Amino acid sequence: MSTAERSAPHLQWSLVVPVKVLARAKTRMSRAAGPHREALALAVATDTVAAALRCARVAGVIVVTDDPRPAADLAALGARVVPDEPDAGLNPALVYGARRGREMFPGTGVGALSADLPALRPAELARVLDAAAASPEAFVPDAAGIGTTLYTARPGVPFAPAFGGGSRAAHRARGARELLLDGVDSVRRDVDTPDDLRAATELGLGPRTAAVAALLSPAPAGTDR
């Protein structure tokens, strides 16, 4: 690597994080979380956004939500909060958030990041974003190899996410580069089920998720990061 390459600035990113209305979030955790389900959903989203904001490659985080409770908490962390427009499903909401992100943070790449990554580590996210910068569009598959936890588009590239059932295959079919890096488990480990939460716990939960997880019965072990 040349001196010029080593000193070249890294591409910065604006990340769009969609956050569901808490009353409809984490429904597959209902039995395990009981009365703590909404608190768990908020804690997971908060730890995800907090980690993203600490990432050196992230210029800003745009949260798309219509729920005032996470809107207030995530804005307090430093995220920019926008409403769910045009209220036509996940991908249109992400496209709207990306457009706002490009307005707020001109010149950045844009990514859509899952709000369900409570073990997310900023350094691992930075590695993924640096790899994504080499391709017009890229994505990270989830730990199950079915969904997607991160989709990215470089500056000037149309932002065309394909989240939903089987989004890994959908993103590949659209020509996005699949990023399969070693040592970035925290970027792939989304949490939708009790088994997912146990796996994330082994990686090390963020502090807010760890506090709520400790209230669940039985509480997951090893919640220190």
Which domains, ranges and CATH numbers included, belong to the chain?
A: 10-155+165-213 (3.90.550.10)
Do the annotations mark residue 164 as ligand-binding? yes
| Residue 122: cis peptide before it, omega within 30 degrees of 0 | no
**186 among the known binding-site residues?**
no
pLDDT at 87: 86
Measure the CA–CA gap between 10 and 185, rounded to whole angstroms: 22
Q: Does 148 appear as a known binding residue?
A: yes
- Looking only at the bridges linking them, the beta strands covering 177-178 and 137-141 are parallel
Rounded CA gap, 155 and 133, in Å? Answer: 9
For position 218, what pLDDT does the model report? Answer: 65
Give the burial string for 174-184 (b: 16+ CB within 10 Å, else e).
eebbebeeeeb
Q: 99-156: per-residue pLDDT in tens?
A: 999 999 999 999 999 999 999 999 999 999 999 999 999 999 999 999 999 999 999 9
